[in-house]
Chains A and B, each alone.
Chain A
Amino acid sequence: KAGVTQTPRYLIKTRGQQVTLSCSPISGHRSVSWYQQTPGQGLQFLFEYFSETQRNKGNFPGRFSGRQFSNSRSEMNVSTLELGDSALYLCASSLAGHQPQHFGDGTRLSIL
């Protein structure tokens, strides 16, 4: 069974640009969550989607947005990139409820 797939693995952008990250969940998983990991703040929850609806959102500015498609694939978008957005962005999928989340390898975003 294929795991969670995130693309691209690495991205380099400059301040002010925007970026879109993609996540394909494990087959059958309808819940997709996104997390940001930085050395200073650790792992922080961005948002969670289930059946194309955002159910939970973390404490991030509106520049961070996401969506989920009917096949459960998800994208997150960051607009007007700032230096502080440099991080590892992790996507996780689950069957929801009490089931564990399974993570992808992440997209490492560097802002110059």
Chain B
Amino acid sequence: AQKVTQAQTEISVVEKEDVTLDCVYETRDTTYYLFWYKQPPSGELVFLIRRNSFDEQNEISGRYSWNFQKSTSSFNFTITASQVVDSAVYFCALKQGGSEKLVFGKGTKLTVNP
């Protein structure tokens, strides 16, 4: 069975602090995809990043960076120099190859205070 665990329920930081959101996943599949989505108060889920199980290259995109480690089944997400507009609920999700079903974690609510 597939499972995604986001142990951090809520995180509160002050603007300009760096913040890392943790994600641990479980799957028996060798081909799978990992995603991060952001859900602002308005409700829509905004796609941020995708990684497949064969690509452990980590990436930096502006203030965002991702750390994918298969050895620990983790796919962590870091926001550098956080801003108030980053306040949202962040979801980590897992999809097995050959299926469109996304399995989501419970989400981490990030509050960035001015």
Question: A106 contacts which chain B residues (CB < 8 A)?
Answer: 43-44
- Chain B residues 1 to 58 lying within 8 A of chain A, measured CB to CB, are 33, 35, 37, 42-47, 50, 52
Please indicate the chain A residues that have their CB under 8 angstroms from the CB of B106 in the complex.
Answer: 42
Q: Which residues on the B side are within 8 Å of A50 (C-beta)?
A: 100
Quote the shortest CB–CB distance from A106 to chain B (angstroms): 5
Give A64 to B7 CA distance when docked, in angstroms: 31
Q: When A42-B104, A43-B91, A43-B104 are in contact, do A56 and B99 touch as well, CB less than 8 Å? A: yes
Interface size class of B (residues with CB under 8 A): 20 to 34
**A79-90: contact bitstring with B at CB < 8 Å (1 yes, 0 no)?**
000000000101
Chain A residues bordering chain B, tally (CB within 8 A): 26
Would you give the shortest CB distance from A107 to chain B, in whole angstroms?
A: 10
Nearest residue, chain A, Cβ from B37: A103
Q: In the complex, which residues of chain B have a beta carbon less than 8 angstroms from the beta carbon of A48?
A: 99-101
Q: Which of chain A's residues have a CB closer than 8 A to the CB of B50? A: 98, 100
Interface flag for B102 (CB, 8 Å):
yes
Q: Give the chain B neighbours of A42 by CB distance below 8 A.
A: 104-107
A31 within 8 A of B: yes
Residue contact B44 to A33, C-beta cutoff 8 Å: no
Are B100 and A31 neighbours in the complex by a CB distance under 8 Å? Answer: yes
Q: Which residue of A lies closest to B43 (CB)?
A: A106
Which residue of B has the minimal Cβ distance to A49?
Answer: B100
With both beta carbons as reference points, the residue of chain B lying nearest to A3 in the complex is identified as B44
Q: Which residues does chain A contribute within 8 Å of B101, judged by CB atoms?
A: 33, 45, 48, 56, 58
A94 contacts B100, C-beta separation under 8 Å: yes
Given contacts A98-B33, A98-B50, contact A104 B44 (CB under 8 A): yes
8 A-B contacts, Cβ less than 8 Å apart? A42-B105, A42-B106, A43-B107, A44-B104, A56-B100, A58-B101, A90-B45, A101-B100
